[in-house]
């Protein structure tokens, strides 16, 4: 049974029983506790935490959520049961059925025949575990389902009690295992051998509330949830492994083709007796899929956060392929292969294929260059270690290669062995552990963000805000909540900074890149100036402002007024953002995918995933297309429809957004621009006014940013540009249309003059070098020049002089040291002729010696080195030390 059919059967089973099918959320959600969605229940957290009421019919849902877990990337492939990317199929009940319902649903799907829509697993091969004291679950399994008592095992907190790692919902769980047979391990059930007995489904009975952990990670259950909830997770990949009768998850229909592609590229065979090679094949298969899915959801490689995880994954693929024997680029082949296997389950891959390939291939090419530079850094470290007589490369240097240059530790160890060195793995592990601890501490700190909105939970659940701002800028409202200094209050006085919660509001809350409205709340003599509006739980509008006059009481009826000028400017900028996005895709193609935006009155910025700098011609074309859309006076239409219908219309969605079943579509000029968007917009594109694209820049690896003005801000920008052009035309006495030619002509003349000045400067510098040669001292077999040149000679000039002197003295063993006092800094250059190097003098050693006297440092090659210090008074002593060192040779 193919994996996509397993997914379909799971969804049909639960929809038939009344569950609402919920599409997988993006791997990237606006959740401060997570880099990636790592469990099927994550998109449902607000319902489990009680922050929101579930919007599903019957308060039940089912989903197949894409997940990524990357805590132990280095362990991937060593075991054959774990993947960094996996699909978690789950069913959820928010206060409806509980233990018996969850158990019956799971058992029915697993054991019903294939003809009846089930998976057809033999019930005699299924084992279950329950929490130690969960007699209720054990009895249901035995009495209601008919699982023999000897196949029901009780396990402790670590295995059969679920919680989120922070105070909140928790409860016992029951896991279902499949006995793969004696060839996989010993008898005795899951507690004896969890390799033979493979876990395929976890049923969480969420019924309690846990408290804070103590220093040892222990916690107490402090209460019961108002509703008993069900959260289950079935591992799609593991079930596929069983139903396809293969040894492990890497040999299923999704990953085996990648291994076969790797065999073709490397000439090495999988499962040919080398455990080390098999691990590398699994790393390639696993990371190719995970990397592809992360890129699909809008991430690009970088040195931090999600981008850093993606970079590590892609680089481990490249390194593994090279260790298996690949000599050229590999990622394009691997990405195409994994996209072929995954597209039946994720059709959106087809529309993003070119972009995914581009991101992966560019990262591979960059890493191949990194391998070259990292190898050079390794060679320097290894040479220094051997010169010092050491047989060990320090753990700190190995960690630097790993952390700074992206070198996997296995690569460093292999290269060290080839150089006759070992790596201080204890020190490396300490450095890695310190880094992980810092990351975990940061993650623990972030996890508490989930509790920040608890103050607003009752309003979110029971009194959500009604937004009427699409059609109204003024509306009567009732004050249903006041918050000051993080606490609810019943009144606010003049001068108070306060958050106001209204039953209905015309004010737009910041979201989708559009900043919140500005405006006023008034009641008689009371005036409250609103400077920001934020949204909590997607349902509650929080108006932040200052009471400028009068006072405000809980329950008051007020008049809420949007600043019309502010809203008009925001509408212009937000609609302009849509036009720029459409123009961008027209010029660059569909691979330019939105990665974020900000729009406020008169200004917009638009981030998109793209790996190349835009040319001036491309920017000009984007500006022209966007303004042609303004001139066309396109109608801006909005409609609310289902997510599926919106996608069928071709509407683009923002990565990272978790859309509900009903979405708002903004359409401008028919097919010109169709996007999912909850923002406010002008009625016709001509109301935007001119759009001035200011330029574009990099905001990270594979990410670019366009900035632009709209409306009157754009007009003012163009006016200033015209005034500047007019002033320049007058200054240069040339028509404005010929300014570029005139400026280019002057620039060429300036460059020629600068070149001539530089040549004259160099001639002047070198005019006295013959005299310096004549002043050389003879020390043993060496001719030595040590001279402090006039103040103000910079490091570049010193280098030129040193090289010239070396050329004049090339026939003898000579050492040249030139220095200067350059504004408090002491630059120094040392040059040694080939004969001098042969006799044991190295410029790099000399520069280090000098550095000790002038409070400086430096380095270089044996024949030329440079450095600088801050103690000019130490130069004479430094010169003497150089001569003494030469005398000993």
Q: Which residues are annotated as a binding site for Zn(2+)?
A: 574, 578, 677, 681
Distance CA 570, CA 688 (A): 10
Q: Tell which residue, 162, 286, 179, has the closest CA to residue 233.
A: 162
Residue 672: which residues within 8 A CB-CB, separation 6 or more? 582, 629, 634
What are the DSSP E strand ranges found in 445-571?
466-467, 474-484, 487-488, 491-493, 497-502, 504-505, 519-523, 526-536, 540-549, 551-553, 557-562
**Structure-block tokens of residue 197:** 């007995």
Residue 456: which residues within 8 A CB-CB, separation 6 or more? 481, 501, 536, 537, 540, 542
Half-sphere exposure of 605 (CA within 13 A, CB side): 12
Distance CA 412, CA 319 (A): 12
Helix%, strand%, coil% for the chain, nearest 5: 45, 25, 30
Distance CA 489, CA 555 (A): 12
The angle at the Cα of 411, spanning 408 to 417, to the nearest 5 degrees, equals 145
CA dihedral 263, 265, 266, 272 (to 10 degrees): 10
Q: Tell which residue, 496, 458, 489, has the closest CA to residue 554.
A: 489
Helix (H, G, I), strand (E, B) or coil at 181: coil
Q: Among the residues of 389-424, which ranges form H helices?
A: 395-403, 409-418
Distance CA 591, CA 610 (A): 7
Distance CA 452, CA 537 (A): 11
**Chain mean position to CA 224:** 37
For the annotated binding site, the residues are: 574, 578, 677, 681
Distance CA 377, CA 370 (A): 10
The angle at the Cα of 841, spanning 836 to 844, to the nearest 5 degrees, equals 120
Backbone angles phi, psi at 780, to 5 degrees: 60, -120
Q: Residue 642: how many CB atoms within 10 A of its CB?
A: 12
| DSSP letter string, 260-307 | HHHHHHHS--TTSS-HHHHHHHHHHHHHHHHHHHHHHTT----SSHHH
Burial category of 346 from C-beta neighbours within 10 Å (exposed 0-12, middle 13-18, buried 19 and up): middle
């Amino acid at each position: 049974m193919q994996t996509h059919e397993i997914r379909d059967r799971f969804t049909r089973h639960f929809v038939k029983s009344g569950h609402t099918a919920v599409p997988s959320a993006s791997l990237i959600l606006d959740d401060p506790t997570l880099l990636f969605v790592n469990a099927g229940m994550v998109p449902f957290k607000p319902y489990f935490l009680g922050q929101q009421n579930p919007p599903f019919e019957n308060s039940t849902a089912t989903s197949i959520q894409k997940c990524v877990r990357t805590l132990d990337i280095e362990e991937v492939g060593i075991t054959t049961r774990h993947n960094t990317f996996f699909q978690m199929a789950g069913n959820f009940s928010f206060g409806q059925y509980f233990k018996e319902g969850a158990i019956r649903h799971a058992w029915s799907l697993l054991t019903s025949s294939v003809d009846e829509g089930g998976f057809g697993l033999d019930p005699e091969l299924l084992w279950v575990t329950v929490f130690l004291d969960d007699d209720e679950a054990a009895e249901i399994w035995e009495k209601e389902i008919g699982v023999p008592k000897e196949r029901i095992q009780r396990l402790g907190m670590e295995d059969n009690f679920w919680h989120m790692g922070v105070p909140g919902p928790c409860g016992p769980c029951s896991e279902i295992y499949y006995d793969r047979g004696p060839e996989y391990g010993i008898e005795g059930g899951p507690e004896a051998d969890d390799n033979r007995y493979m876990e395929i489904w976890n049923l969480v009975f969420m019924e309690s509330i846990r408290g804070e952990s103590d220093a040892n990670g222990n916690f107490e259950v402090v209460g019961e949830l108002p509703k008993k909830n069900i959260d289950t997770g079935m591992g799609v990949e593991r079930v596929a492994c069983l139903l396809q009768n293969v040894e492990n998850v890497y040999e299923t229909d999704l990953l085996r083709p990648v291994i076969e592609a790797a065999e073709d590229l490397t000439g090495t065979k999988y499962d040919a007796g080398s455990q080390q090679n098999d691990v590398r094949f699994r790393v390639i298969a696993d990371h190719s899929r995970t990397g592809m899915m992360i890129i699909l959801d809008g991430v690009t490689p970088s040195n931090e956060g999600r981008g850093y995880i993606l970079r590590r994954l892609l680089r481990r693929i490249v390194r593994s392929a090279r260790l298996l024997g690949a000599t050229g680029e590999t990622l394009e082949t691997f990405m195409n292969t994994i996209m072929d296997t995954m597209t039946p389950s994720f059709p959106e891959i087809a529309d993003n294929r070119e972009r995914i390939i581009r991101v992966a291939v560019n990262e591979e090419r960059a890493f191949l260059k990194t391998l070259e530079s990292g190898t050079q850094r390794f060679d320097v470290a290894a040479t220094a270690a051997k010169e010092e007589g050491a047989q060990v490369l320090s753990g700190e240097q190995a960690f630097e290669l790993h952390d700074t240059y992206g070198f996997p530790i296995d690569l460093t160890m292999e290269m060290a062995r080839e150089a006759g060195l070992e790596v201080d793995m204890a020190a490396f592990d300490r450095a890695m552990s310190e880094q992980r601890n810092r990351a975990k501490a940061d993650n623990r700190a972030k996890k508490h963000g989930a509790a920040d909105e608890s103050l607003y939970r009752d309003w979110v659940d029971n009194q959500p805000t009604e937004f009427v701002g699409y059609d109204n800028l003024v509306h009567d409202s009732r004050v249903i909540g006041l918050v000051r200094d993080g606490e609810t209050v019943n009144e606010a006085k003049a001068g108070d900074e306060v958050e106001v919660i209204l039953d209905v509001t015309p004010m737009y809350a910041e979201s989708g890149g559009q900043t919140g409205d500005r405006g006023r709340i008034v009641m008689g003599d009371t005036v409250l100036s609103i400077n920001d509006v934020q949204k909590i739980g997607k349902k509650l509008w929080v108006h932040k402002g200052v009471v400028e006059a009068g006072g405000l009481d809980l329950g008051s009826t007020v008049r809420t007024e949007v600043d019309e000028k502010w809203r008009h400017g925001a509408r212009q900028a937000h609609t302009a953002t849509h036009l720029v996005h459409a123009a961008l895709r027209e010029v660059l193609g569909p691979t330019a995918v939105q990665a974020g935006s900000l729009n406020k009155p008169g200004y917009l910025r638009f981030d998109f995933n793209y790996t190349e700098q835009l040319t001036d011609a491309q920017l000009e074309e984007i500006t022209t297309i966007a303004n042609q859309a303004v001139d066309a006076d396109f109608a801006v239409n909005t409609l609310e429809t289902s997510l599926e219908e919106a996608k069928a219309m071709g509407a683009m969605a923002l990565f990272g957004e978790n859309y509900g079943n009903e979405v708002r579509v903004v359409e401008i000029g028919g097919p010109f621009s169709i996007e999912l968007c909850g923002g406010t917009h002008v009625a016709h594109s001509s109301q935007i006014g001119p759009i001035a694209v200011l330029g574009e820049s990099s905001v990270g690896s594979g990410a670019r940013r366009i900035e632009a003005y709209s409306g009157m801000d754009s007009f003012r920008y163009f006016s200033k540009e015209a005034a500047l052009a007019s002033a320049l035309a007058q200054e240069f006495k040339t028509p404005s249309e010929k300014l570029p030619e005139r400026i280019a002509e002057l620039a060429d003349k300036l460059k020629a003059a600068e070149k001539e000045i530089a040549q004259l400067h160099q001639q002047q510098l070198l005019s006295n070098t013959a005299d310096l040669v004549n002043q050389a001292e003879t020390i043993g077999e060496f001719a030595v020049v040590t001279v402090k040149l006039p103040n103000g000679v910079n490091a570049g000039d010193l280098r030129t002089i040193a090289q010239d002197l070396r050329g004049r003295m090339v026939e003898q063993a000579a050492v040249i040291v030139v220095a200067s006092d350059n504004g408090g800094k002491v630059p120094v250059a040392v040059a040694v002729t080939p004969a001098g190097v042969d006799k044991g003098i190295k410029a790099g050693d000399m520069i280090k010696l000098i550095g000790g006297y002038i409070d400086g440092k430096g380095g270089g090659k044996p024949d030329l080195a440079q450095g600088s210090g801050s103690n000019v008074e130490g130069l004479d002593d430094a010169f003497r030390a150089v001569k003494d060192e030469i005398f000993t040779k």
